C-alpha cells in the first residue's frame, strides 16, 4: 500500500508540474522558408533543457510577427532587424510605434535573392512585363521586393503578373513555368532556391551599388554582401546583393527568467541549431548578443552579461 501511495504521489507531482509549465507562442515564417524550421529547432532546444517551458511554433511573417508580439498575441518570434527598428520608430509600413518589442538573440544574416528561370532576364530592370511571385502582403520579403524594384523605377504595375503566394507555392510556380522569377529574403543557401535549381536553370539578379545606395537611404540597417559563386549549383559567378539580420524577439513583458532560459538554450545548443538550419552554421556565440538597434530583453541581457564575464 505504501509503495502504491508513493507512486500515486509522484504521479500527482508530475502532473502538477506539467500543468504549471509555461506555454509560449513562437511565431516564425512560412513553411518552406528558413524561419519555420529555425523555430522548430529552437523549440526542441528549449524544451529539451527546460521541463517547465513549452513552445507552440506557428507560421507567420516578419511584419506580422512584430505586430502579434506587440499586441500580446504571441510571446516570442523571429523577425528582421530592419523591420524591428522601423516598428519601434513607427515608420512605414507600421504607421505607429509598435511598443513592447525587445531583442533576444541575433541569429544570422538574411540575403535578398531575386531568382529567375527566364534567362533573358539579367537585372531587376528587366522584370518589366514579366511574371513575379512574392510572399503575401504583410511579409518583409514582399515589402523588400517593392523596394528593390523601385530602385530601378519598376512597380508592380509594370509587371505582367504578380502572385502573392507561400514559398512552397512559389517553388511550384517556378518549376512549372507559371512565373518568370521569385523574390526571397532568407539565409544562404536557401532551400527554396536549391529546390528550383535542382530542376530548372536559374539566375540570381544582382543589386548594384546605385541600387544599394537608394535602399540605404530608406533604412540604414542594410549592408552589402556578395553571394559566393558556390552558393548554388550552376552559378555563373559571385552575385552582389544586400543583407540584414534575422533575430529572435520577445514581448518585453515576458518574465526575465523565461527569456533567460530561452536565450541560454539557444546559446548552449547553437551547434545543433547550425546542423538543423544551414543559415545558422556560421553564427558564433559572440554574434548572438550583438546590438541590433532595439532594446535587449532583461533576460537575454543577463545571459550575455554572464557569458562575457567567463
Q: Would you state the pLDDT for residue 5?
A: 43
- What is residue 11's predicted lDDT score, i.e. its pLDDT? 47
pLDDT confidence of residue 13 = 44
Residue 38, CA distances (Å) to 58, 101, 124, 186, 303 in order: 11, 20, 30, 12, 21
Please tell me the least confidently modeled range out of 8-17, 130-139, 220-229. Answer: 8-17
Residues 252 and 225 in one domain: no
Residues 301 and 198 in one domain: no
Residue 153 and residue 125 in one domain: yes
Average pLDDT over residues 5-12: 46
pLDDT of res. 3: 45
Beta strands in the chain (DSSP E): 22-27, 53-58, 76-80, 101-116, 131-134, 161-164, 181-186, 203-204, 223-227, 239-251
Which of the residue ranges 11-15, 38-42, 269-273, 288-292 would you say has the lowest mean pLDDT? 11-15
Average pLDDT over every residue of 69-88: 94
Does 58 share its domain with 207? no
Among the listed ranges 4-13, 98-107, 138-147, 204-213, which one has the minimum average pLDDT value?
4-13
Cβ-contact 109, 290 below 8 angstroms: no
State whether 116 and 217 are in the same domain: yes
Residue 57, CA atoms < 13 Å, CB-side half-sphere: 19
**Is residue 195 over pLDDT 50?**
yes
- Residue 103 C-alpha cell reads as 531583442
98 has a pLDDT exceeding 90: yes
Shared domain check, 141 and 53? no
Residue 14 has pLDDT above 60, yes or no: no
CATH of the domain at 269: 3.40.190.10
187 and 100 part of one domain: no
Instruction: Specify the pLDDT at position 284.
Output: 94
Q: Which of 194, 213, 244 is the last residue of a domain?
A: 244
Domain span at 234: 111-244
Cell of 195: 529546390
pLDDT of residue 12: 45
Is position 3 within any domain?
no
pLDDT digit string (tens) for 56-75?
999 998 889 999 999 999 99
Residue 225, all three cell numbers: 554582401
Q: Residue 34: its pLDDT value, please? A: 84
Q: What is the pLDDT of residue 30?
A: 84
Identify the pLDDT of residue 287. 92
What does the mean pLDDT of the chain come to?
91
pLDDT above 70 covers a percentage of the chain that reads 94
User: How many domains is the chain built from?
Assistant: 2
1 confidence band (pLDDT: 50, 70, 90): very low
Candidate from 5-14, 60-69, 115-124, 214-223 with smallest mean pLDDT:
5-14
Residue 7 lies in a domain: no
Is the CB of residue 167 less than 8 Å from the CB of residue 36?
no
Q: Specify the pTM.
A: 0.73
> What dihedral do alpha carbons 277, 166, 231, 147 form, nearest 10°?
-120
Shared domain for 87 and 136, answered yes or no, is no
Residue 6 lies in a domain: no
Among 229, 244, 259, residue at a domain's last position: 244
Q: What confidence score (pLDDT) does residue 137 get? A: 85
**Same domain as 92, residue 121:** no
User: Cα separation of 202 and 200, whole Å?
Assistant: 6
Q: Does 226 lie in the same domain as 193?
A: yes
Does residue 139 belong to any structural domain of this protein? yes
The pLDDT tens digits for 246-302 are 999 999 999 999 999 999 999 999 999 999 998 899 899 999 999 888 999 999 999
Amino acid at each position: 500500500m505504501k509503495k502504491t501511495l508513493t507512486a500515486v504521489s509522484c504521479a500527482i507531482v508530475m502532473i502538477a508540474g506539467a500543468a504549471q509549465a509555461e506555454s509560449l507562442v513562437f511565431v516564425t515564417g512560412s513553411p518552406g522558408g528558413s524561419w519555420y524550421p529555425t523555430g522548430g529547432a529552437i523549440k526542441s532546444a528549449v524544451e529539451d533543457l527546460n521541463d517547465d517551458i513549452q513552445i507552440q511554433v506557428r507560421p507567420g511573417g516578419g511584419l506580422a510577427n512584430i505586430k502579434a508580439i506587440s499586441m500580446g498575441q504571441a510571446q516570442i518570434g523571429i523577425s528582421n532587424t530592419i523591420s524591428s527598428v522601423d516598428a519601434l520608430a513607427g515608420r512605414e509600413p507600421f504607421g505607429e510605434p509598435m511598443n513592447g518589442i525587445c531583442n533576444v538573440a541575433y541569429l544570422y544574416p538574411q540575403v535578398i535573392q531575386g531568382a529567375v528561370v527566364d534567362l533573358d532576364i539579367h537585372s531587376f530592370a528587366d522584370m518589366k512585363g514579366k511574371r513575379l511571385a512574392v510572399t503575401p502582403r504583410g511579409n518583409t520579403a514582399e515589402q523588400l521586393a517593392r523596394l528593390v524594384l523601385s530602385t530601378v523605377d519598376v512597380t508592380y504595375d509594370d509587371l505582367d503578373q504578380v502572385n502573392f503566394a507561400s514559398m512552397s507555392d512559389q517553388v511550384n510556380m517556378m518549376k512549372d513555368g507559371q512565373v518568370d522569377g521569385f523574390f526571397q529574403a532568407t539565409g544562404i543557401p536557401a532551400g527554396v532556391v536549391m529546390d528550383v535549381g535542382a530542376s530548372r536553370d536559374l539566375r540570381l539578379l544582382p543589386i548594384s551599388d546605385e541600387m544599394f545606395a537608394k535602399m540605404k537611404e530608406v533604412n540604414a540597417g542594410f549592408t552589402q554582401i556578395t553571394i559566393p559563386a558556390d552558393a548554388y549549383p550552376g552559378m555563373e559567378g559571385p552575385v552582389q546583393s544586400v543583407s540584414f539580420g534575422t533575430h529572435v524577439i520577445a514581448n518585453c513583458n515576458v518574465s526575465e527568467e523565461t527569456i533567460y532560459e530561452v536565450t541560454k538554450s539557444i546559446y548552449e545548443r547553437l551547434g545543433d541549431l547550425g546542423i538543423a538550419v544551414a543559415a545558422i552554421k556560421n553564427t558564433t556565440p559572440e554574434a548572438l548578443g550583438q546590438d541590433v538597434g532595439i532594446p535587449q530583453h532583461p533576460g537575454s541581457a543577463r545571459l550575455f552579461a554572464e557569458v562575457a564575464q567567463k
